[in-house]
Structure 1
Amino acid sequence: MATIPVTGGTGTLGREVTDRLRTDGHEVRVLSRRSQPYAVDLRDGTGLGAAVDGVDTIVHCATQPRGGDDTAAGHNEAAKRAGVPHPVHVSIVGVDRVPLGYYRVKRQVEQMVEDSGLGCTILRSTQFHDLVLRVLAAAARLPVMPLPAGVRLQSIDTGEVADRLAELAVAGPAERVPEMGGPEVQELPELARAYLRATGKRRPLVPEPLTGKA
């Protein structure tokens, strides 16, 4: 059995990855800014040395959705410093095609991992169901429900991605592995109407045209 640190181990995906690895008998070090005994700040490296001491694999689930993802720089630096041969990184399907700022940052992070000189594994996934739910719930707070026009989603259950990451963590470096997506492609208005039915709300849907390259 292996000792595997999971960055962002208290987050939506990190918690499930941690559970899978522990169920399989591995020792997991949960890395986040508040978790003990491995309280780690990936932005400045605080606590990283002890957290990655003696491990062969790091699973990187931490991210910063609001702004640049400098957590990955800390993750990579920790892996290099500890001589960890196998960082496992989760990314997003379409980061090399969708012209959104956050996606561009995620692609830069992928490149950073690929160029690190370490034997890495990168898994791209579509959005999680819970993210779609949060987006729709936020839109439904208004008297009308604004939705970006022409958007389709193929969201996936977080647990399925966690299962795959747990498998990849104990396998050898595989570079970029096949992408994961949910079972069905759905139009955003279709999902919005399903949300409104489920919550008993009534809102007119207002399509908002995307601008620029998006």
Structure 2
Amino acid sequence: MSTVVVTGGTGTLGREVVRHLVEDGHDVVVTSRSATPSVWDSARTVQVDYRSPGTLRTAFEGADAIVHCATRVSGRRGGDVDLTGRVLDAARHTGCGNLVYISIVGVDRIPLRYYRTKIEAERLIEDSGLPWTILRTTQFHQLVIRLLNALTRPPLALVPDLSVQPIAAAEVGARLAELATARPAGRVPDMGGPEILAVPDLARRYLEAIGRHRLVRPIRLFGSVYKGFRAGHHLAPANASGTITFQEYLNARMRSPR
């Protein structure tokens, strides 16, 4: 049995990591900015201020591994890079045996501001002197749903003519839990969803599922970010290890209580 700390353990992905670790019998500590307890009784939640080295060091004390899921979606000062740097400082102080980091396929090839912070955070980890493991994945089903919900609100839904490879957060959580309880592995193979699908097609499926009537029109965008997505740099066709399809996720979401 290992002791594993999960930063951001109350978030979409963090909850899944915690669930798998608990089910496998590991001692789990969840760090969170809020006092919201973990949904798992056997996991201990510690409220931390990520700007305070003391609270992080206390939370990390005795950890065999740290899974760093906490994030700040900001490319400005105080964003993901600063957050990761503070986590690394605390991890060094407590002698962490494996720092596991979740990243995104294409962060080194698509010049999106948030992606730039993720690749910079990766480099901080690689140069930290700590044993580390980095996993890059494609987009979560939940993110795709949020995007589709926003795009299909107007009567005419203008949808980027792109493809995505959505993956279930539950499957990524299982993989991170596995990596956290294994030896540090450096950069591991990317992890992608089971299908590569056109966003306009996903928009039509989503509209049908929620009963919203909209005309969907694919559009081409411009710029270096769009060019990177058009080239498929955010996809991992050779690593389609996910098994839960978007349609299966959507169907389950529609069946669940709101």
State the TM-score, normalizing by the size of structure 2.
0.79
* Partner in structure 1 of residue 183 of structure 2: 172
CA contact (8 A) 1:42 1:72 kept: no
Equivalent residue letter for 2:116? R
**Residue of structure 2 aligned with 1:76, choices 51, 63, 88:** 88
Structure 1: give runs of 5+ residues left out of the alignment: none
Equivalent residue letter for 2:15? R
Structure 1 residue 40: Cα displacement: 1.2
What whole-Å deviation, never above 9, does each CA across 1:63-110 have from its counterpart, x for those lacking one? 112443132122111111212121000100111111211111111111
**1:43/1:147 Cα in 2 relative to 1: closer, same or farther (>3 Å)?**
farther
Structure 1 residue 138: Cα displacement: 1.5
Counterparts of 2:186 and 2:114, CA distance in 1: 22
Structure 1 residue 205: Cα displacement: 2.1
CA contact (8 A) 2:3 2:63 kept: yes
Counterparts of 2:50 and 2:222, CA distance in 1: 34
Structure 1 residue 207: Cα displacement: 3.5
Q: SS state of the match for residue 178, structure 1?
A: coil
**Residue of structure 1 aligned with 2:115, choices 91, 103, 111:** 103
Mapped pair 1:193 → 2:204: yes
**1:211/1:171 Cα in 2 relative to 1: closer, same or farther (>3 Å)?**
same
Mapped pair 1:91 → 2:103: yes
Equivalent residue letter for 1:71? L
* Partner in structure 1 of residue 57 of structure 2: 49
Q: Provide the identity percentage.
A: 52
Structure 1 residue 144: Cα displacement: 2.1
Q: SS state of the match for residue 59, structure 1?
A: strand
State the TM-score, normalizing by the size of structure 1.
0.94
